[in-house]
């Protein structure tokens, strides 16, 4: 399912909820706007593409320059 830029703007300009309440739906709508699969459509197992997956260190003793 895709949405047009006009549909996206029309929907999101009315939203007054906090970011934490609506960020997942906003991201899903962005996916639909640009023609990308949503996280669950792309990766049903949730192992490569999903919400709140966290991040891992590549090296525990590495320090930033």
| Predicted pLDDT of residue 11 | 97
pLDDT of 42-51, one tens digit each?
999 999 988 8
pLDDT of 7-42, one tens digit each?
999 999 999 999 999 999 999 999 999 999 999 999
CB 8 within 8 Å of CB 2? no
Model pTM score: 0.75
Closest CA to 22 of 32, 12, 7: 12
| pLDDT of 56 higher than 90 | no
| Predicted pLDDT of residue 60 | 66
Distance CA 32, CA 16 (A): 21
Average pLDDT over residues 48-63: 79
Distance CA 34, CA 14 (A): 21
């Amino acid at each position: 399912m895709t949405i047009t830029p006009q549909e996206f703007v029309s929907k999101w300009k009315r939203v007054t909820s906090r970011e934490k309440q609506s960020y997942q739906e906003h991201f899903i709508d962005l996916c639909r706007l640009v023609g990308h699969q949503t996280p669950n459509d792309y990766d049903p197992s949730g192992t490569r593409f999903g919400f709140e997956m966290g991040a891992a260190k590549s090296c525990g003793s590495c320090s930033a320059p």
